Amino acid sequence: MSGGKKLRIAIQKSGRLSEKSLETISSCGIDFSTDSRTLKCAAQNFPLEFLFVRDDDIPTYVYDGVADIGIVGRNELDESGYSLEVVRDLGFASCRLSIAVPEGFDYQGLSSLEGKRIATSYPRILSSILEERGVQASLVTVSGSVEITPAVGIADCICDLVSTGATLRMNGLKEVEAIYWTSAVMVARSDFSQDEERSAILSRLLMRMDTVNNARKKKYVLFNLPADRIEDAARIVGGMKSPTVTPLLDSAWVSVQSVVGEDRFWSVFEDLKAIGAEGILVMPIEKMSD
Ligand code: PRP
Ligand code: ZN
């Protein structure tokens, strides 16, 4: 197992994605220390090496082979134009790309952007959307501080990422239309599977991620039930192998254990109460394999 090769992952150095990206890895039982502000570090108990970079550069690094995989916003991937393989949709750090205008801009829809100067860091995504909608505008590409461009007179409005909206408010801009939605994905080079040793490491990592993820979406439920309602309970809990039933000292009652999807939890809870379940305990599940 210690063949020597390590899988190299590119992670955002600081920003919206950083913390959750590291959490995704550490929840897989992979230990590392990031306190030294180095650009590179290796995990202590898994053949994984981290590269801490700007999120905008992650698709390029993965494409060029500087890193094998990366965690990045789908926006950066789409904007890069590289066709990388999305190996997992991670779902965190979700935000939107929106049109925002200064006070006094009469916005009636995308057609109001006709002939206007729009500042953005996402010219590829924006131009494809404008083209789709038949709007002709001139794009002013800037790599940061997009929100100040109308105030300094180099753009009429902007198209930028919005999460809480605080940045826009602080700069006197109003979000008028969201045109694209994004969240974090894990990407790999599309020909990556040819590197057998590193592919095997990636499979191990993904297996751990999936196990943790499965568990997060489920709750472990334990309750006492009148013994004659067990069929009803099995029907309510449903969707998996029969629940585990343990006799209690009082033979009129049983203890039941099962796993329930988070999304169904409240309806299951109410239905169980309705058939006389008592002492319902709900516990988080740390790991769960299929
Ligand atoms: C985006 C965007 C804004 C901010 C908006 O930057 O450019 O500055 O987030 O977030 P808010 O609505 O919560 O205020 P990003 O996180 O992508 O940083 P980067 O441009 O430095 O990569
Ligand atoms: Zn960025």
124-159: pLDDT as tens digits = 999 999 999 999 999 999 999 999 999 999 999 999
Length of the chain as a residue count: 290
CA of 149 to the centre of ligand 2 (A): 17
Distance CA 38, CA 140 (A): 34
Establish how many alpha carbons lie within 13 A of residue 72's alpha carbon, considering only the half-sphere containing its beta carbon.
33
Angle at 241 between CA 236 and CA 245, to 5 degrees: 70
Which contiguous run of DSSP H or E holds residue 200?
helix 196-216
CA of 176 to the centre of ligand 1 (A): 17
CA of 162 to the centre of ligand 1 (A): 7
Q: In what order do the strands lie in the sheet with 69-73?
A: 40-42, 48-53, 7-12, 69-73, 184-188, 85-89
Cβ neighbours of 287 (radius 10 Å)? 13
Q: Which of 25, 13, 106 is nearest to 58 (CA)?
A: 13
Question: Measured between alpha carbons, how far apart are the two ends of the chain, in Å?
Answer: 24
Question: What are the structure tokens assigned to 211, written together?
Answer: 């196990």
pLDDT of residue 32: 93
pLDDT of residue 37: 66
Q: Is beta strand 48-53 parallel, antiparallel or unpaired with respect to 173-182?
A: unpaired
The number of the ligand 1 atom at minimal distance from the alpha carbon of 144 is 20
Q: Is beta strand 95-102 parallel, antiparallel or unpaired with respect to 117-120?
A: unpaired
The number of the ligand 1 atom at minimal distance from the alpha carbon of 16 is 16
CA of 39 to the centre of ligand 2 (A): 17
pLDDT of residue 263: 84
- The answer, yes or no, to whether any atom of ligand 1 lies below 6 A from the CB of 165, is yes
Residue 156: Cβ-neighbour burial (10 angstroms; 0-12, 13-18, 19+): buried
Query: Taking a C-beta distance cutoff of 8 angstroms, is the pair 1, 41 a contact?
Result: no
pLDDT of residue 163: 94
Q: Is beta strand 138-141 parallel, antiparallel or unpaired with respect to 117-120?
A: parallel
- The answer, yes or no, to whether any atom of ligand 1 lies below 6 A from the CB of 162, is yes
- The answer, yes or no, to whether any atom of ligand 1 lies below 6 A from the CB of 55, is yes
173-218: pLDDT as tens digits = 999 999 999 999 999 998 888 899 999 999 999 999 999 988 888 8
Query: Taking a C-beta distance cutoff of 8 angstroms, is the pair 140, 113 a contact?
Result: no
pLDDT of residue 16: 92
Query: Taking a C-beta distance cutoff of 8 angstroms, is the pair 186, 73 a contact?
Result: no
pTM of the model: 0.84
Mutate to test the pocket of ligand 1, among 167, 168, 175, 183 (most ligand atoms within 8 A of CB): 167
CA of 54 to the centre of ligand 2 (A): 6
pLDDT of residue 3: 60
pLDDT of residue 123: 98
pLDDT of residue 289: 82
Q: Which residues of the chain have pLDDT under 50?
A: 1
Residue in the structure block whose two tokens are 């439920």:
221
